[in-house]
Amino acid sequence: MRDGTLQTSVHVGIGRFLAFAYMFLSFVGQCNAQSVTNIFDGVVYVRLTTADGRLFREGSGVLLGSDGFIFTAKHLFDNFDATTGKVSVSLRGVKTALIPASRYPADASTTDIALLYVNQTEVRNAGIGTYFRLGCNTPPIMESIIVAGFPAGDASPLLVLPAVVTTDSLDSSFRDYMRAGIAPGMSGGPIFWRGYLIGLVYGAADNVEAFTPINQSGELRTVAKVDCYQVPPNGPVQVAILSADPKGPVPIGDVQKPAQAPASAKPRVFVQIAAESQRADATKLISGLVDKGINAARGIENVGSKAPLSGEIRYFSAEDRANADKIKAILDQLSPTTFSIQRENVPNSPQNVFELWYPHG
């Protein structure tokens, strides 16, 4: 089940279409209008291009919070050359205004979840103030869910579909199954159950559609420092439960499953350059950081004129100053560019996350 073989089940007949339409209208009729509107804010369009700018693959994703972390489908990166290719995303439920993104170094799990990162300034500039609450249990068979994502093609808008879960257990690849009528390009898009974000679209083949439960995100959820909760078995139906702070207090009746970063977690570095002439040096620095035991994303963002006038190592948690000093010591040995250390005072920021900014001009 890969994007290349994704099929929309258009031959299922008008009966199924009308049934889905009725289910969707009935569902939305019970929902909070603000939740419906804000689904568009949190769904992300993902675009992979080759070194010469040609489209490699399209997909979808979901923004996890103001930290700039995004979940998407791992299989989008199959056979993608991350050293020369470019990853871009667009926020707020549209395909315009693409911004560069980096992929967090791939973990060893076999589940189809990948973690992307965009710098926090881009998220703040987009004016997104609410995020989805994650659910760690999976829906029972025949339970109604909501699926969202971007069908492939420049003119295709965000699609939100009603769906039904069709199995009560995961397969050997940790996938669950559903009936939704998804389209090519929706891989990585969010799945909602009773308002909670509980999975990501995997794909479809031979009229079988699958999704990856969010509870399979493991280490990646820890990196992004987002918690997940037990979805209540009953209560009001909502499209999305929203929070101004997805790391805030537990809602009444929820059982929290915390995802705290372990004290021994390695620093994670994301690199931004201001010009292509800096890419070779940035690539060398990434290799040097990896050699020293630091997780540095292989993807490099070219942010152009958004870069600062002087080189910066940005960190967000007060506890990370020592690691910022460690990173600076490594960079001083490897690069002619001078980097100063700057603390970004962003509430609820993750620990052990750093941004390396090359200077503009």
Last residue of a domain, one of 260, 290, 311: 260
Q: Whose CA is closest to 271, among 88, 119, 47? A: 119
pLDDT given at position 7: 31
87 contacts 48 by C-beta, under 8 angstroms: yes
Strand partners, 209: 178, 204
- Most confident option among 112-126, 256-270, 295-309: 112-126
CATH code for the domain in which residue 107 is found: 2.40.10.120
pLDDT given at position 94: 72
Cα of 64 vs its chain's centroid, Å: 6
What band does 325 get if pLDDT is binned at 50, 70 and 90? very high
Helix or strand (DSSP H, E) at 335: none
Is the same domain home to 248 and 297? Answer: no
SS3 of residue 75 by DSSP: helix
Tokens linked to 172: 């050997």
Tens of pLDDT, residue by residue over 193-212, are 888 899 999 988 777 888 99
Is the same domain home to 139 and 45? Answer: yes
What band does 332 get if pLDDT is binned at 50, 70 and 90? very high
Question: What's the rounded Cα separation, in Å, for the pair 248 and 101?
Answer: 26
Q: Domain total for the chain?
A: 2
Is the same domain home to 198 and 340? Answer: no
Question: What's the rounded Cα separation, in Å, for the pair 110 and 101?
Answer: 23
Instruction: Report the chain's mean pLDDT, rounded to a whole number.
Output: 78
Is the same domain home to 27 and 80? Answer: yes
In degrees, rounded to 5, the angle at the alpha carbon of residue 339 between the alpha carbons of residues 309 and 220 is: 105
CATH code for the domain in which residue 275 is found: 3.30.70
Tokens linked to 33: 């209008």
Last residue of a domain, one of 260, 279, 303: 260
| The length of the chain, given as a count of residues | 361
Is the same domain home to 254 and 300? Answer: no
Please state, for a pLDDT cut of 90, what percent of the chain lies above it: 27
Last residue of a domain, one of 222, 239, 260: 260
Residue 39: pLDDT over 70? yes
Is the same domain home to 140 and 213? Answer: yes
pLDDT given at position 277: 93
Is the same domain home to 216 and 292? Answer: no
pLDDT given at position 238: 62
Is the same domain home to 25 and 112? Answer: yes
Tens of pLDDT, residue by residue over 3-25, are 433 333 333 334 444 444 444 44
Question: What's the rounded Cα separation, in Å, for the pair 143 and 163?
Answer: 8
- More confident: 309 or 241: 309
Residue 79, classified by CB atoms within 10 Å of its CB into exposed (0-12), middle (13-18) or buried (19+), is: exposed
Is the same domain home to 175 and 275? Answer: no
Is the same domain home to 124 and 171? Answer: yes
180 contacts 162 by C-beta, under 8 angstroms: yes
Amino acid making up residue 297:
A
The stretch 91-114 carries a mean pLDDT of 78
Residues 14, 16, 19, 23, Cα dihedral to 10°: -130
The stretch 320-324 carries a mean pLDDT of 90
The residue segments making up the domain with residue 54 are 1-260
Residue 103: pLDDT over 70? yes
Is the same domain home to 291 and 150? Answer: no
Is the same domain home to 218 and 165? Answer: yes
